[in-house]
Amino acid sequence: LNVPETKVSSLENGLRVASEDSGLSTCTVGLWIDAGSRYENEKNNGTAHFLEHMAFKGTKKRSQLDLELEIENMGAHLNAYTSREQTVYYAKAFSKDLPRAVEILADIIQNSTLGEAEIERERGVILREMQEVETNLQEVVFDYLHATAYQNTTLGRTILGPTENIKSINRNDLVEYITTHYKGPRIVLAAAGGVSHDELLDLANYHFGNLPSTQEGGMPALPPCKFTGSEIRIRDDKMPLAHIAIAVEAVGWSHPDTIPLMVANTLIGNWDRSFGGGVNLSSKLAQITCHGNLCHSFQSFNTCYTDTGLWGLYMVCEQSTVQDMMHFQFDLQIKFSGRRRDWKGYVIFCGVRCKLSKVCYFLSNFIYPPINCKQTQWHLVYIFREAH
């Protein structure tokens, strides 16, 4: 692919700076921080997500209204999200506004006021969000998937945390979390689009150079998370369809198997009844599913972490077709290890599709997320209605 070189530098305090300059008139810049539910314990689970909600509620320099107006007047977009291993704050803006975007991000993570009134307001917002998540069966299935695949480990915890934690988190908990995790070696400032690496490095030095590199007791360790091949079924006779996730253990995002398994993920693909297509569908599993009317939809997924991950299939089926759908899924994956000539052309085609997906990320200025997987033990999650 004809993509720009990725340049990486480090500050004296350990903060890393990465960029790709495509010469466009827009850019995306963000902070990737090693802070998520994997770094939390039973008592403070949900703090990272709570802190993300507080990010845009005002700083010592800007009120919430001032921040919103400044972003609007720039024609920019400011957002944040929390995963199990990372908290991310990012902005999309015109390239000429890169310095302002970086300054705003620095202000947010270093000078948020964390006012008591805002904390109570966001507490209610998060509790309502948790209720909404409970109605999203795909979210529920993937939470169960992590809870049973990584039993009794930090990866098994949810990102939002339990309700009792959300009700008890206070300002001191948020300040302590920032003090513990928002340190130079745990942060990456990354940008793509019309950005100069030298300019970005200078901005990083100016705005983040004073971040501490360590704290008392050393850096928080990444807890090991052992994968356990297992199965969990949650029965609800009121539900008309079965929502199923089946996954195998994957490798870390920097493992050499990452790219081949991205292609394998594309081999399986995704399908929905609204697609139609029949025998003309590119995915073999989609062809079988469409012809046999085996499910309402399916999608393959890669979920990667630092040292492990999950790769598999999420499907929505009627109870009577679950076994058939599972059979064809297993059969297709067994055939992956078959004769090379049977798959060569199809693998090349899927490799091209993987490249095209990366081009789409490149054209949108967004930082391409690493995705990976490696087969080991099987893990299944069912949420379904059984026939009587």
Q: Which residues are catalytic?
A: 52
d(C-alpha 220, C-alpha 177), whole Å: 11
- The residue written with tokens 């959300």 in the block is 166
By the 8 A CB rule, do 359 and 212 touch? Answer: no
**DSSP bridge pairs for 88:** 32, 81
Q: How far is CA 177 from CA 46, 49, 116, 172, in A?
A: 11, 11, 16, 9
Instruction: Give the angle 302-303-308 at the CA atoms, nearest 5°.
Output: 115
By the 8 A CB rule, do 26 and 193 touch? Answer: yes
**Residue 233, token pair as written in the block:** 């079924």
**Residue 321, token pair as written in the block:** 């077709």
d(C-alpha 5, C-alpha 123), whole Å: 43
Strand arrangement of the beta sheet that strand 270-272 belongs to: 231-235, 378-384, 242-250, 309-317, 297-304, 270-272
By the 8 A CB rule, do 54 and 174 touch? Answer: yes
d(C-alpha 37, C-alpha 45), whole Å: 6
Instruction: Determine which helix (DSSP H) or strand (DSSP E) holds 32, and give its type and residue range.
Output: strand 26-33
d(C-alpha 192, C-alpha 206), whole Å: 20
d(C-alpha 192, C-alpha 36), whole Å: 24
d(C-alpha 174, C-alpha 246), whole Å: 36
**Residue 291: count of CB within 10 angstroms of its CB:** 11
- DSSP per residue, 234-291: EE-TT-SSEEEEEEEEE--TTSTTHHHHHHHHHHH-EEEGGG--GGG-SSHHHHHHHH
